[in-house]
Amino acid sequence: MTFLDTISQYNYHDVLARIEAKTPADVERALAAPQMRLDDFQALLSPAAAAFIEPMAQRAHRLTVQRFGKTILLYAPLYLSNECTNGCRYCGFNAHNRVPRQTLTLDEIEREAQVLHDRGFRHILLVTGESPRAVDNDFLAAAARRIRHLFSAIAIEVYPMEEPGYRQMVEAGVDGLTLYQETYDRALYAEMHPFGRKRDFDFRLLAPERGGAAGLRRIGIGALLGLGQFRSEAFFVGLHALHLSRHFWRSHLSVSFPRMRPADGGFQPLHPVSDRDFVQVICALRLLLPDAGLVLSTRESAVLRDNLLPLGVTQMSAGSCTAPGGYTGGEESTRQFTIDDDRTPAEFARMIQSKGYEPVWKDWDRAFMEKTEIGV
Amino acid sequence: MDPLIIAGRRFKSRLLVGTGKFSSNAAMVAAMESSGCEIVTVALRRVDIDSPADSLLAHIDREKYLLLPNTSGARDAEEAVRLARLARAAGCEPWVKLEVTPDPYYLLPDPIETFKAAEILVKEGFTVLPYINADPVLAKRLQEIGTATVMPLGAPIGTNKGLKTREQIAIIIEQAIVPVVVDAGLGAPSHAAEAMEMGADCVLVNTALAVAGNPAAMGAAFRKGVEAGREAFLAGLGETRQQAEASSPLTGFLRD
C-alpha cells in the first residue's frame, strides 16, 4: 500500500469543503481528543480554529518541549547547482529564467562546505535544480563523499530518484532526504509544472517511500505554501506524514512549511498565507505529529522566526545562501529565492539561547553510517 | 457497526472467542452463540484435526464460524510451524493464530521464535495472526513481513486482569497498518470495551467466558461491551478538558 493508494481515496476539493465546514464545537472536540483523528486534524486547520490559535499554540509548545526538550537543531543548505530543465512557474531556477547558470566543481563544493563547517554547522542539506546533464546521481554521490568528513549528517534536496539511486546516496554517506510535493492538488500541480521531468506527480509523490525503502534515516516532506489552498495542502502533508511514519517507521520524519517568497521571475503566490494562518498550520501539524521534526527556513523574517521558535519548531537553518557558490562569494543573482532572516549563524544561535533554548549543531554521527565489521 | 476486515475477509463481529477451559462443549457453544463471534480459536494440541468426530470440532459449525487453529504449546518456531502445516494438511483454511510460549507458567510469548515462525508461515502462504507481548517494535517488524494482524496481550493469559499493558497497546494501535487484536487477560466486558474505545480493531476472549458462572450470559455481555466500545471510539471520545493557562501568550505577536 503506497501513499498513492491513500491519496486516491480523497478528492482535493471535497477535503477543502469538509475543512471549511468545521464548527467551533469540532475544534473544541479536537483539542480535547485523547487521540487525534483525521477529522480532528481537519478541524484544527479550519477557519473556525482561528479563534483557538492561543490554546493550539500552548498545546503545541507543551507537546514539543515534552518530546524534544528546549532544543533547536541548526542546519544549512548548500546549493550545488542552479541548472534546471524544469518549468516550475514559481521558482527562480525555472529553465526559462535568463539568469547565470552554474554547477560547482567538487573543489568548489568542498570550499563552500568548509565555510559552513567553520561556522559550526554539522548538519547540511545539499540542494540542486534538476538537470540530468549537469547533476546526476554519480555527481551527487561524489559531492557527498568529498565533504562527508566535514559533517555529521548530510541530506539531499534534489530531483526524485529511483530506489537504487537512493541506495547509492546512502552508500555515499547521505542519510536524509527532503522532497516537497509543492502541491497535492493534481490539477494545480500540472499547471505549475508545464514542462520537465517534474511534471510527473506520482513519481515525485512516491519518492519519499523509495528513499525510506533504500534506508535513508531522515525523510522530510512539505508543500509550498502559497500555491494551493493552505488548509487542504496542510491536510495532505499530514496524511502523507502519517503514511510514511507507519510504513517507513525506521526513518525519522520531518515536515517543512516553506512559504512562497519573491523569486527571480516574479511569480506571486496564488493563495498568500498570512502569519496567523501560518501559525495555525504549524500548531496543527505539531498536534497531529508529536514526534516529527518541524523545519523553519530563513525564508521567514527574523522577528517571525523568533516568535515561532516556541510553537513546535525543532529545526532551523541560519545564515543561508540560496545561490551556488554563495558562501565563498559567488554570484548573488542566481538565487533560488530571497531569504529574509540574514543573521549570521552565531547571532542566530545567541538568539536561541536568549530564549532559553539550546542550539544543537550536531545530532548525528558518521559512525552510524560507516559500515565496519564488528563481529555481530 | 462497521465491518472488521482481516486479510481481505469481512466480519461483522469484533469479538473472537477461544474454546479452551469450558466445562462442557454445550457451554462452549452456548457462549459462542450468544457472543455473536464469527472467529473461534482452537488449540491444535487439543483436537484430532483429522477426525471429524473429534468431540470439540464436531460441535463447531464450520459454516458459521471460521476455525482459527492456534499453535499453543509450541515452545519454538519449529514446533509452531509444524503444527500449522499439520492443520493445513488436514484441510483447515490456512489461517493460524501463532502462539509460541516456552514458559509454562505465565505462557508469555517468545518474541524471537514468534518472529521466526511468522516469517516462515507467511512465506508458505498462511494468514498469520501472531500473539505477542505488547511490544510496538515487534508489532511493526511482524506487520512488515506480512502478518495479517498483531495480537498484543492485555495481561498474561487467563489472569482476567484487564489492560495492564494499556500504554504499549495504545502505541501499537497508533502505529498499526494491520488490525490490532487485543488478546489475553481481558476478564470483564468493561475491559473489552476499554480496548475497543482505545481503537483496537477487535478482542479475543476465552477464560472470562469459560470460567464465568454463566458462560452464555457472559458471552452476551462481552458482545455488548465490544459493540459499545467500538461505537464510542467511532463517535470520538473527549477527555477532561485542560484549559491552557498562559502566563505569557504565545501568539500575542500576531496582529491582523
Tell me how crowded residue A350 is: count the other CB atoms within 10 A of its CB.
13
Find chain A residues with C-beta within 8 A of B239's C-beta: 32-34
Q: pLDDT at residue A237 above 80?
A: yes
* Nearest CB to B250; choose among A35, A303, A311: A311
Distance from CA of B161 to the nearest CA of A (A): 23
Dihedral sign from CA coordinates of A147, A152, A156, A157:
negative
The separation between CA B25 and the C-alpha centre of its own chain, rounded to angstroms, equals: 22
Residues 6 or more apart whose CB falls under 8 angstroms from that of A294 comprise: A64, A254, A255, A256, A257, A282, A285, A286, A312, A313, A314, A315
**Pair B19, B28: CB distance under 8 Å:** yes
Q: At B56, is the pLDDT very low, low, confident or very high (cuts 50, 70, 90)?
A: confident
In order, the DSSP letters of B134-179 are: S-HHHHHHHHHHT-S-BEEBSSSTT-----TTHHHHHHHHHH-SS-
C-alpha cell at A95: 529553465
Q: pLDDT at residue A139 above 90?
A: yes
Distance from CA of B247 to the nearest CA of A (A): 10
Sequence letter at residue B224: K
> What are the φ/ψ torsions at residue A172 (nearest 5 degrees)?
-85, -5
| pLDDT attached to residue A311 | 92
Q: At A373, is the pLDDT very low, low, confident or very high (cuts 50, 70, 90)?
A: low
Question: Could you write out the three-class secondary structure of A197-230?
Answer: HHHCHHHHHCHHHHHHHCCCCEEEEEECECCCCH
Q: pLDDT at residue B54 above 60?
A: yes
DSSP state of A337: S
Mean of the pLDDT values across residues B248-253? 80
Catalytically annotated residues of B: 97
A67 in contact with chain B, both atoms CB, cutoff 8 A: no
Distance from CA of A323 to the nearest CA of B (A): 32
**Residues B254, A53: C-beta atoms closer than 8 Å:** yes
Tell me how crowded residue A149 is: count the other CB atoms within 10 A of its CB.
11
| pLDDT attached to residue A374 | 62
Cα(A210)–Cα(B198) distance, integer angstroms: 32
Cα(A212)–Cα(A23) distance, integer angstroms: 37
| pLDDT attached to residue A372 | 65
Mean of the pLDDT values across residues A120-134? 92
End-to-end Cα separation, chain A, in angstroms: 33
| pLDDT attached to residue B239 | 64
* Nearest CB to A33; choose among B174, B239, B244: B239
**Pair B209, B31: CB distance under 8 Å:** yes
**Pair A204, A177: CB distance under 8 Å:** no
* Nearest CB to A276; choose among B177, B240, B254: B254
| pLDDT attached to residue B45 | 78
B63 in contact with chain A, both atoms CB, cutoff 8 A: no
Distance from CA of A274 to the nearest CA of B (A): 9
**Residues A310, B250: C-beta atoms closer than 8 Å:** yes
| pLDDT attached to residue B243 | 55
* Nearest CB to B254; choose among A32, A40, A275: A275
Cα(A342)–Cα(B201) distance, integer angstroms: 51
Distance from CA of A203 to the nearest CA of B (A): 23
| pLDDT attached to residue B136 | 96
Cα(A175)–Cα(A169) distance, integer angstroms: 8
**For all residues of chain B together, what is the average pLDDT?**
88
Least confident of A112-121, A192-201, A224-233, B14-23: B14-23
Question: Any idea which residue has 548525528 for its cell?
Answer: A364
- Which of the pair, B127 or A339, is modelled with greater confidence? B127
C-alpha cell at B162: 484487564
**Residues A33, B237: C-beta atoms closer than 8 Å:** yes
Percent of chain B with pLDDT over 70: 92
**Pair A72, A44: CB distance under 8 Å:** no
**Pair B103, B51: CB distance under 8 Å:** no
C-alpha cell at B155: 495481561
Q: pLDDT at residue B57 above 70?
A: yes
Q: pLDDT at residue B65 above 70?
A: yes
User: CA of B218: how far to CAs of A169, A206, A212, A235, A262, in Å?
Assistant: 59, 49, 47, 44, 68
User: CA of B86: how far to CAs of A37, A298, B82, B92, B120, in Å?
Assistant: 43, 64, 6, 9, 14
What are A22-51's pLDDT values in tens digits?
999 999 999 988 778 999 999 999 999 999
B246 in contact with chain A, both atoms CB, cutoff 8 A: yes
| pLDDT attached to residue B44 | 81
Residues 6 or more apart whose CB falls under 8 angstroms from that of B212 comprise: B31, B218
Closest-CA residue to A167 (of A218, A221, A220, A213): A213
| pLDDT attached to residue A168 | 97
B53 in contact with chain A, both atoms CB, cutoff 8 A: no
Strand ranges across the sheet with B66-70: B151-152, B127-132, B95-98, B66-70, B39-43, B15-18, B202-205, B181-183
Distance from CA of A327 to the nearest CA of B (A): 33
C-alpha cell at B216: 452464555
Q: pLDDT at residue B238 above 60?
A: yes
Which of A42, A54, A250 best probes binding to B when mutated, by most B CB atoms within 10 angstroms? A54
| pLDDT attached to residue B210 | 87
Q: pLDDT at residue A370 above 80?
A: no
Q: Minimal Cα distance from A274: which residue of B?
A: B256
| pLDDT attached to residue B90 | 78
The separation between CA A316 and the C-alpha centre of its own chain, rounded to angstroms, equals: 10
| pLDDT attached to residue A17 | 96
Q: pLDDT at residue A134 above 80?
A: yes
Count residue pairs from A and B with Cβ separation < 8 A.
57
A275 in contact with chain B, both atoms CB, cutoff 8 A: yes
- Of how many residues is chain B composed? 256
Q: pLDDT at residue B206 above 60?
A: yes
Percent of chain A with pLDDT over 70: 95
- Which of the pair, A247 or B87, is modelled with greater confidence? A247
Closest-CA residue to A184 (of A228, A221, A243): A228
Q: Minimal Cα distance from B241: which residue of A?
A: A32
**Residues B177, A247: C-beta atoms closer than 8 Å:** yes
What are A261-278's pLDDT values in tens digits?
765 557 888 898 999 999
Q: pLDDT at residue B256 above 60?
A: no
According to the per-residue pLDDT averaged within each range, which of A336-345, B88-97, B132-141 is highest?
Answer: B132-141
Cα(B21)–Cα(B28) distance, integer angstroms: 9
Q: Minimal Cα distance from B175: which residue of A?
A: A246
Find chain A residues with C-beta within 8 A of B177's C-beta: 1, 246-247
B247 in contact with chain A, both atoms CB, cutoff 8 A: no
Tell me how crowded residue B61 is: count the other CB atoms within 10 A of its CB.
12
Closest-CA residue to A346 (of A337, A331, A359): A359
Determine which helix (DSSP H) or strand (DSSP E) holds B18, and give its type and residue range: strand B15-18
Tell me how crowded residue B234 is: count the other CB atoms within 10 A of its CB.
14
**Residues A33, B256: C-beta atoms closer than 8 Å:** no
A85 in contact with chain B, both atoms CB, cutoff 8 A: no
Q: Minimal Cα distance from A51: which residue of B?
A: B251
Cα(A65)–Cα(A73) distance, integer angstroms: 14
Q: Minimal Cα distance from A275: which residue of B?
A: B254
Question: Any idea which residue has 500541480 for its cell?
Answer: A189
Q: pLDDT at residue B23 above 80?
A: no
Q: pLDDT at residue B128 above 70?
A: yes
The separation between CA A97 and the C-alpha centre of its own chain, rounded to angstroms, equals: 24
Dihedral sign from CA coordinates of A167, A172, A177, A182:
negative
**Pair B184, B208: CB distance under 8 Å:** no
